[in-house]
Structure 1
Amino acid sequence: MKSFLPSIALLSALLATSCNDKPAAQDAGAFATPEVEVLEASPGKAVTSVRIPGRMEPYLQAEVRARVTGIVLDRCYQEGQLVKEGDILFKIDSAPLQAAVDACKADVSRSEAVLKDARDKLAKYSVLVEGGGVSKREYNLALAGKEQAEAEYAAAEAKLEQAMQELGYATVTSPIGGRVRRALVTKGALCNKNELTHLTTVEQIDPIYVRFSAPSAELSKSRRSITSGEAEGIPFDKICVKLILPDGREYPHEGKLFFSDMAVDPLTDTVEMRAEFPNKDLELLPGAYVRIAFDTAVQRNIYRIPRDAVMRTAQSAMVYIVGPGNKLEARPVETERLDGKNWIVTKGLKPGDKIVVSKTSYLMPGIPVSIAAPAAPEAGQNTAGH
């Protein structure tokens, strides 16, 4: 028991010493001034870009349909073949059509003979009516007969022309140059001109279009920025469009904007647009889902702030500014988007502001800080605006 009592006294002394030292250590840490790195704000420019999904569409597309009724005798092309305008694609049985042409020719000959007889009769009556050999009524009937014969002859010639056109339609040719898709009818199929039987489709895909819809709100925002002078507009014919393929690769050839609708689709609140791309290797195919990207404007007076220097909530964003007396100030800012590792800040900063870019999660407004020596800047960036 005697040996145990000194041990208790020694332990109590050690605990008392430890407790006396702890407040001193806490006081020393509480008054330590944090050292932070800062970035001096300098306004710069940033390109506003959009990335939108779209669908490939042929430059020209023609549905080849039957214009006469008949049996398909032959298909004169290989599916997927490149054809020129006027190349023969199908042949339809022309025998009934040839017979119709022959019948119309006969009608023309008969009408021509009737017209000749009517003209001779009128010429004869023209002489007789002056001498009283025929009455005025008989002369008028002869004149009417001649005019009727002329009308019948003209109608017969028109029917012959129509029959010859239909005979020509029995040979189905390509209306445009391009690649022919699969045949929708086979040899022996019956085509009907009243139903406009769809035979095949010819598409020209060099160049090729991409159709997409841009949100009207984004376009309106861009126009307002340009009108107010906050951004520089890019002329429509100078906008270069990039194409991202379905596998994620970027198409090696740039395109250009070709069309922008002048109305907003009320169902989707978007504006339909179209871009044109060269397609000499025929790598791009109609119907493919792709993404396009292009620049719309160049923003002025923006600041690029490192991502970790911006503290964000669901409603707002803020940065720490080193103010007078090296005391921290919480500055609300408006951020537009991320550009790589930097936020694009459009409002809330002014040139020369010292923005804290380190230890932001351990700081609070109003405390004094010391500014660390500047670190080596990242490649391509040396101030908050460039």
Structure 2
Amino acid sequence: MRAQQKHFISGAVMAGLLATLAGCSKPAAAPATPSAPAVGVVTVHPSNVPVSIELPGRTSAYLVAQVRARVDGVVQQRAYTEGADVRAGQLLYTIDDAPYRAALANAQAAQQKAAANLVAANAQAERYKALVGGNAISKQAYDNAVAAQGQAAADLAAAQASVTTARINLGYTRVASPISGRSSVSQVTQGAYVQASAATLMTTVQQIDPIYVDVTQSSAAGLQLRQAIASGQLRADNNVQPAVSLKLEDGSVYPLQGKLQFSGITVDQATGSVTVRAVFPNPQHVLLPGMFVHASLVQGTAANAFLVPGPAVSHNPQGQVTALVVDAAGKVAQRTLQADTVSGANWVVTGGLKDGEQVIVDGLQQVKPGMQVRATAAPVSASLPAPASAATSAAGAR
């Protein structure tokens, strides 16, 4: 009985071992094939795209008038409020005018004396003219009378000029604003002595509506622009004055647009840049002289260019601008782009893409060239942030 049990156990053990070996000999199940990752794409088409550049600059007053003393004297009154708007011709200061009133009276008296002398000289010349005809006096005496008449006329003219000068100097004792604008701090107080010879500065008036914005552009960027226009990549409309938009120090956008005034032709040897001036309306006096701003200038129109969202664009180790696209086979391919400028949140691409290509904008982190992907249309928002390289592009134009 015990022998039969032993035989049964041995048989069971052998059967278990055979089953285990049979299980080990079965092939392992093949892993599931991963599905192709999904990416968001935008289909690009060529169009005429306005190309602009952002340049740093500062504001400056449209007109600046330094009000200086034009006569010597003691300031008797300041007739304006510091920092207030003043009109052209508005009284700002009064200077003690007593010496100048006396000088005017003296000049007027000299004028009257000269006028009386001229009357006497004219009468004598007329009498001598009749006498010389009858040989009652010598020709020399008549010539002297005529010369005295001319000298008297000259003396009267000089006296009249002295009266005019004295009247002008008297007028200079009332110091008026030469322009309309915003006044500044007074440099003199009541009782101060000012001098015409030293041209004592009394105050400054600045017109800030409109106001200038002076920006700097690198000469290299200007050269690239001219080459792009010459090659036909950019089309400039010379009959339309370019509009300029402005971004303030706090990042806000100035609501009013300006116009390009002129572009300098002299390169600053220290900075390698030229000055570009625009003029902006400033009715609310939001812009003050000396403010740091960024101006966006429309340089021209790029014909047959593509607008590519900023997140889709990157740079390879060689510094070239690149983007990933989905080709006709559904695989990822890398394109090297020609893109030097931005328009809002998009890069302006003038080469490297074809009409109808699908540029990847979402899911870039999970794909690489050669991968099979599933392309789905991605919503493109106008509020996409501008690419980081846009700042570099603007900085390179400084």
Class of the TM-score when normalised by the shorter of the 2 chains = 0.7 to 0.9
2:154 to 136, 151, 156: 151
Match for residue 209 of structure 2? Answer: 206
Percent of aligned pairs with the same residue?
Answer: 36
Match for residue 349 of structure 2? Answer: 345
User: SS in structure 2 opposite 1:57?
Assistant: strand
User: SS in structure 2 opposite 1:96?
Assistant: helix
User: SS in structure 2 opposite 1:133?
Assistant: coil
Query: Does residue 297 in structure 1 map to residue 300 in structure 2?
Result: yes
Cα–Cα, structure 1 residues 325 and 179, in superposed 2: closer, same or farther, change >3 Å?
closer
Match for residue 280 of structure 1? Answer: 283
1:111 to 103, 109, 114: 114
Query: Does residue 88 in structure 1 map to residue 91 in structure 2?
Result: yes
**1:362 Cα offset (Å):** 5.7
Cα displacement string for residues 43-69 of structure 1 (whole angstroms, at most 9, x for unaligned residues)? 234331222222222222211111111
1:229 to 228, 232, 235: 232
**1:337 Cα offset (Å):** 4.3
CA contact (8 A) 2:42 2:378 kept: no
User: SS in structure 1 opposite 2:376?
Assistant: coil
2:251 to 238, 248, 251: 248
Match for residue 57 of structure 2? Answer: 54
Cα displacement string for residues 159-199 of structure 1 (whole angstroms, at most 9, x for unaligned residues)? 11101110111111111222221111111111111111111
**1:211 Cα offset (Å):** 2.0
Aligned length: 359
Cα–Cα, structure 1 residues 105 and 322, in superposed 2: closer, same or farther, change >3 Å?
closer
* Structure 1, unaligned runs of 5 or more: 1-9, 382-386
Cα–Cα, structure 1 residues 326 and 242, in superposed 2: closer, same or farther, change >3 Å?
closer
Cα displacement string for residues 270-308 of structure 1 (whole angstroms, at most 9, x for unaligned residues)? 332222222222222222222222322221222344645
What amino acid does structure 2 have at the position aligned with 1:313? P
Query: Does residue 334 in structure 1 map to residue 338 in structure 2?
Result: yes
What amino acid does structure 2 have at the position aligned with 1:102? A
Structure 1 Cα separation of the partners of residues 346 and 119 of structure 2? 93
What amino acid does structure 2 have at the position aligned with 1:110? K
Query: Does residue 176 in structure 1 map to residue 179 in structure 2?
Result: yes
Structure 2 Cα separation of the partners of residues 328 and 281 of structure 1? 53
Structure 1 Cα separation of the partners of residues 246 and 96 of structure 2? 47
Structure 2 Cα separation of the partners of residues 255 and 90 of structure 1? 36
TM-score by length of 2: 0.77
TM-score by length of 1: 0.79
Comparing 47-56 with 257-266, greater Cα deviation is found at 257-266
Match for residue 272 of structure 2? Answer: 269
Cα–Cα, structure 1 residues 295 and 315, in superposed 2: closer, same or farther, change >3 Å?
same
User: SS in structure 1 opposite 2:256?
Assistant: coil
After superposition, the CA RMSD in angstroms is 3.5
Structure 1 Cα separation of the partners of residues 72 and 181 of structure 2? 26
Structure 1 Cα separation of the partners of residues 256 and 239 of structure 2? 18
CA contact (8 A) 2:91 2:177 kept: yes
Structure 1 Cα separation of the partners of residues 133 and 315 of structure 2? 113
Cα displacement string for residues 202-256 of structure 1 (whole angstroms, at most 9, x for unaligned residues)? 2222222222223333333333333433223255745332222222221222222
Moved >6 Å (runs of 4+):
32-36, 321-329
Match for residue 137 of structure 1? Answer: 140
User: SS in structure 1 opposite 2:187?
Assistant: coil
**1:118-129 alignment runs, 5 A limit:** 118-129=121-132
Comparing 351-360 with 223-232, greater Cα deviation is found at 351-360
